[in-house]
A and B are shown apart, each in its own frame.
Chain A
Amino acid sequence: MHILKLVFKNSFRHKLRTYLTILGITIAILAFGLLRTVIDAWYAGVNASSAARLVTRNSISLVFPLPLSYKDKIRQIPGVKIVSYGSWFGGVYIDEKNFFPNFVVDSISYLELYPEIVLPADQQKAFVRDRKGFVAGRKLIAKYGWKIGDTVILKGTIFPGDWEFVLRGIYRGRDKTVDETQFFFNWDYLNESLKKTTPARADHVGFYMIGVTSPSAAADAAAAIDKTFKNSLAETLTETEKAFQMGFVSMSEAIVIAIQLVSFVVIIIILAVVANTMAMTARERFVEYAVFKTLGFGKWHIAALIFGESLFITMTGCALGIVLTFPSAKAFGNEMSTFFPVFNVSTETIYLDIAASIIVGTAAAIIPTWRAINIRIAEGLRRIG
């Protein structure tokens, strides 16, 4: 018979209370884990960005294009290794509710610049060769049930008309941070169509994606690019891919902060619940603690009993919460794939769950322990009678 056994037995003396407390912690950890995963999903683009890539856009706004002719000038700048370009296409598949990100890109340079987009070699060749070809992430493919060779029509919103594409490749992400819900098609298809319909819009890109020789060269290269186009008709703003992605996230920063606050409020609420449970538990057992002290058990033994019980309850709830977080996140991610294409429970979230549970379990036991170890034995024993 050891103290641990006593901790375990004590934990289930009031089974209903213990089960309800564990249930509360499980739900809190589940909610905390999901909210942290939502925040991670918000930053997925930022986290997936490379330090060796820059994005150049019009300095006025992203909606203003840049001339395609900048490509060769950018390529000349020291530190620049690869230059690719593209635009947000903004096409709608059948109905507006079927949202997914779709881009027009220079296929060869784009696939070279983004090795995390893994495409089989034969599909890559077929995509580059077919002007009307497109590639899509496997999640998007699974959602709409497309097959290689299928024709898909997008209704253009920025570039009006019905645009017909043929599926030539299905990419997967090199790791979990890659968005597998995107749709890419060849630049030439859009540009040549624009030359016929709206020549003024042709040979203009939404942004350049630039690979630099090393992350350390990024700052100098960015400054040099912007300096090159200073005082031109379309001045540029070049930033790291991470900063570019952060620009989007910062637009909704208030929401992210609100979610973060809510996630911590959940933990504070459960701390209050566990603290209340432990306060009740300790109050009911003051006589026993007095008996333990009478028998010669020290303050550390009493503290071990109370902290042990509190941590046992919280860690049990934490373990259940973590186990439930994965299927819940998967279901939530599937349901919300339009908004959160990358929705994975990160290792950091699990660590945060565990850390929060340890903090809750420890904090909830502090006051009951302090009271229990400071009670005079004679006073504690008198409580019974």
Chain B
Amino acid sequence: MEIKPPIVEIKNLFKSYRRGNQILPVLQDINLDIADGEFLALMGPSGSGKSTLLNLIAGIDKADSGSVTVGGIDITNLSETELAQWRSNSIGFIFQFYNLIPVLTAFENVELPLLLTGLTKKQRKDHAEAALYIVNLSDRMDHYPGQLSGGEQQRVAIARAIVTDPLILVADEPTGDLDRVTAKEILELMERLVHELGKTIIMVTHDPRAAEKAHIIRHLDKGVLNDAHTKTGI
């Protein structure tokens, strides 16, 4: 049986922040492999470094040392411009507060990442409509974010995240701003993305109920990654 290499490989990763003259270590010697199609939850108390780790995996922050390899590319060696291009092709982002552009409709928000691709207008339309169909919002594509509920906005954000068919999806507290019922719907949608579309999801959460949906839960504490807690096999 062929063993597939992990889609994310993190080796000896260190990250610190400077506050005045003080250097505050945030992540210390992180080593982590994430397999293709895995749904991983990162948990930990506030300030444990889980969002920082997510940012480093997503290429929106720079490590002090160590390497982050995603889909075979060591992103720690990429320039800002290369990283921006890499992110547009390889990463889908789901934020706690959705971060939709309020003056754009649901369709236009989903189409936004496609503007950086070479797709034609017709192709962009097809892709965006397909993504909105997956999140079950075909009938709301002409609505503005202000006309949508929190759960619907998060679904639009998920459609925006998957529209470019990225290698991995990163989600930072995706249910943090939602009520319990809506949060459950969003988590079920994320599960569907993993099971039906084979997406790899890395999710940061405080919520144990959200983490329950993941295949693997990893805990961070004071910048140190604890042993794996595997819920289910994949």
Contact = CB atoms under 8 A, between A and B. Distances in A.
B87 A295 contact: yes
B96 interface: yes
**Best-buried of B84, B88, B89, B95 by chain A (most CB within 10 Å):** B84
Main secondary structure of the interface of A (DSSP, over half): helix
Given A9-B104, A10-B103, A296-B88, A377 B116 contact: no
Nearest to B52: A378
Interface string B48-62: 000110010010110
Interface residues of A, number: 22
A298 B93 CA distance: 16
Contacts of B111: 1
Given A1-B108, A378-B61, A385-B97, A296 B116 contact: yes
Contact of A378 (B60, B99, B112): B60
Contact of B99 (A10, A288, A297, A298): A288
Contacts of B148: none
B197 interface: no
Contacts of B103: 6, 9-10, 13
A254 B198 CA distance: 78
A97 interface: no
B95 A381 contact: yes
B116 A378 contact: no
B229 to A, nearest CB: 27
B102 interface: yes
A316 to B, nearest CB: 17
Q: How large is the interface on B (under 10, 10 to 19, 20 to 34, 35 or more residues)?
A: 20 to 34
Interface string A287-303: 11001011111100000
A376 B88 contact: no
A25 B112 CA distance: 32
Contact of B113 (A2, A9, A288, A295): A295
A384 interface: yes
B99 A381 contact: yes
Contact of B60 (A6, A294, A298): A294
Contacts of A3: 115
A294 B108 CA distance: 17
A298 B84 contact: yes
B149 interface: no
Interface string B7-44: 00000000000000000000000000000000000000
B120 interface: no
B232 interface: no
Contacts of A385: 96-97
A377 B51 CA distance: 12
A384 B99 contact: yes
Given A10-B103, A13-B103, A384 B97 contact: yes
A1 B112 contact: yes
Interface string B130-151: 0000000000000000000000
A76 B80 CA distance: 81
Interface string B86-129: 11110001011101011110001001110110000000000000
Contact of A1 (B93, B97, B115): B115
A377 B104 contact: no
Interface in A116-166: none
Nearest to A3: B115
**Best-buried of B51, B55, B93, B115 by chain A (most CB within 10 Å):** B115
A293 B61 CA distance: 12
25 contacts: A1-B104, A1-B108, A1-B111, A1-B112, A1-B115, A3-B115, A6-B103, A9-B104, A10-B103, A13-B103, A287-B99, A288-B99, A288-B101, A291-B93, A291-B101, A295-B93, A295-B112, A295-B113, A296-B87, A377-B60, A378-B51, A381-B60, A381-B99, A384-B99, A385-B97
Which A-B residue pairs are the 9 nearest by beta carbons?
A296-B88, A9-B103, A377-B60, A1-B108, A291-B99, A296-B87, A296-B84, A378-B61, A295-B113
Interface of B: 51-52, 55, 58, 60-61, 81, 84-89, 93, 95-97, 99, 101-104, 108, 111-113, 115-116, 160
